[in-house]
Amino acid sequence: MGRNMDVLLIAPGDRIEIYQALGKSQSALETPVWAGLLATFLRKKGYSVHIIDANAEGLEANEVARRAAEVNAVLNVIVCYGHQPNASTQVMPHAGRIVRAIKEENSSRKVIMVGGHVAALPEQTLREEMADFVCTGEGPYTLSALTEALKNNATDYKEVPGVIYREDGGVIRTKPAKNVTKLDEEMPGMAYDLLPMHLYRAHGWHCYGHDDKREPYASLYTTLGCPFHCTFCPIQAPFKEGESALGYKPSLNSYRRWSAKTIGDQLELLAKNYGIYNVKFADEMFVYHKRHVLELCNDIIGRGLDLNTWAYVRIDTAGDDEQLELLRKAGVRWLCPGIESGDTKVRDDVDKSFAQESIFTTIERIRKHGIYVIGNYLFGLPEDDLNSMQKTLTLAMELNCEHANFYSAMAYPGSQLYRYALEKQWPLPKSWGGFSQHSVDSAPLPTNHLTGAQVLEFRDWAWTTYFTNPNYLAMVERTFGKNTADKIRKKATVKLVRNNVPVK
């Protein structure tokens, strides 16, 4: 019956639960980057590995459990990393159901949960879920050591770094595991051959102008971590223990880079073996280290790869003309700056400070090089009120970027904002699913001036206002064609069901 693998990696995620109607065909289906990276790391250590991408395949928990029984792995790993740092928490309901289904099918199967959310709240995760172990760091060295211990029939796991588990009615927490520092050597890319590459699709906006070519698609990291300290972001949560084990000061965030050659090798493999054209650099901070950007762009150009790539940037690190020119030549056609708020006071309060005029000059400079812009906006930060949120929407409409993301502020576990919300005793979502931006139970954080319901109501209204704005639709039609503008008009008619906004 069984394949008797060493490790089974499971990527959870119920996209209908998370995105409602948008999850059927409009949301992206992204490659599970951390599952792919962990697979590569473990393979290089000599372990046999299998991956189940439950999110991409649309698998219910009982279906995952059945497949897990067929794989019959020594260790079953639920990889609770999202496709952006804020998306880890929203996969927890589905992840928990998968753990329960696996344990109910066979209670002796060993299960560990790893990811940003569980690293932020390891003890709470162990209390809430049926997993045998919870990883307190990023995962690679922990999974390798735990797999070896289980293969040797160990009953004592105290020497496995970076885990928390139950023993004799108590809870044991082991020493931290170090973060991987030799990325090119130990974790050089993702195990694409273990993934259903034919299923992944790009965001709709990523393919404006060629809307029928959203597949195939791939996400990958070129760096790990972020040196900045925005209070609403939990990106460093899975890295902090590993940083401490490496001797980092708590105030210092690590920022690791793969070499241009390693990334270029991945991109060439994706293009030649899988026909990949649409690519996401999933780094939270891609355009930051100038030499890294220039070396990678030159490598891509030298290989003659034809790509449609997008990446995140900050307004104050979005690159000079030299970088932007090379980025466009290397196939980076979209950049996504975190503008967040149109109110300087609101941004300053969450350590996202930059001059107001720099927003306009940065967007203009990016566009000058033929790169489209996705503006990221965030409603409901602690100092937001109705006036400041209106400023944000007004700014968004004035910038008139080729696409815009409108989010509600959430106190994600692992962020300073989460700790602040606990101190203030602000109401948090009643379930982890409520941390999803698009879910029925979405419950944003209140501000010092507004309720969470007011924030969510404004966010949904702002989204509709932006995407039905005649100036925006006219710009889209000029830039990408009437077919794209018509699809946006149709998407703007999709209304999300919200339990936490009063029906009028």
DSSP state of 85: G
* Cα–Cα distance, 132 to 441 (Å, whole number): 29
Q: What is the pLDDT of residues 179-222, one digit of tens each?
A: 999 999 999 999 999 999 999 999 989 999 887 788 899 999 99
* Cα–Cα distance, 32 to 241 (Å, whole number): 23
- What integer pLDDT is reported at residue 87 of this predicted model? 73
Sign of CA dihedral 448, 454, 457, 458: negative
Q: What is the pLDDT of residues 277-323, one digit of tens each?
A: 999 999 988 988 899 999 999 999 999 999 999 999 988 888 799 99
Task: Compute how many other C-beta atoms are within 10 angstroms of the C-beta atom of residue 72.
Answer: 16
Three-point CA angle 151, 157, 163, nearest 5°: 110
**What phi and psi values does residue 436 have, to the nearest 5 degrees?**
-75, 135
* Cα–Cα distance, 112 to 320 (Å, whole number): 44
- What integer pLDDT is reported at residue 354 of this predicted model? 80
Digit-by-digit pLDDT tens for the chain (504 residues) are 346 899 999 999 876 665 565 556 667 789 999 999 999 999 999 999 999 999 999 999 999 999 999 999 999 999 998 766 567 898 999 999 999 999 999 999 999 999 999 999 999 999 999 999 999 999 999 999 999 999 999 989 999 999 999 999 899 999 999 999 999 999 999 999 999 999 999 998 999 988 778 889 999 999 999 888 888 888 899 999 999 999 999 889 999 999 999 999 999 999 999 999 999 999 988 988 899 999 999 999 999 999 999 999 988 888 799 999 999 999 999 999 989 898 999 998 888 878 888 899 999 999 999 999 999 999 999 999 999 999 999 999 999 999 999 999 999 999 999 999 999 999 999 899 888 888 888 889 999 999 999 999 999 999 999 999 999 999 999 999 999 999 999 988 888 888 876 544
Nearest to 456 by CA among 467, 472, 441, 471: 441
DSSP state of 29: B
Contact predicate 336/371, CB 8 Å: no
Task: Compute how many other C-beta atoms are within 10 angstroms of the C-beta atom of residue 273.
Answer: 11
The span from the first CA to the last CA of the chain, in angstroms, equals 56
Contact predicate 80/92, CB 8 Å: yes
CATH of 7-173, one of 3.40.640.10, 3.90.110.10, 3.30.413.10, 3.40.50.2300: 3.40.50.2300
Domain 201-222+258-409+444-491 belongs to what topology?
pyruvate-formate lyase- activating enzyme (3.80.30)
Give Rg (Cα) of the chain: 22
Nearest to 258 by CA among 144, 332, 181, 177: 181
Domain ranges of the chain: 7-173, 201-222+258-409+444-491
pTM equals 0.94
Contact predicate 138/179, CB 8 Å: yes
DSSP state of 201: B
AA identity, residue 197: M
Nearest to 389 by CA among 374, 409, 419, 362: 409
CA distances from 114 to 80, 107, 220, 349, 469 (A): 6, 19, 19, 31, 42
| CA 296 to centroid of chain Cα atoms | 22
Strand-pair category, 256-257 with 223-224? antiparallel
Task: Compute how many other C-beta atoms are within 10 angstroms of the C-beta atom of residue 86.
Answer: 22
Q: Is 335 helix (H, G, I), strand (E, B) or coil?
A: strand
CA distances from 136 to 89, 380, 429 (A): 15, 30, 23
* Cα–Cα distance, 328 to 287 (Å, whole number): 13
Strand-pair category, 256-257 with 278-281? unpaired
Nearest to 164 by CA among 177, 155, 173, 156: 173
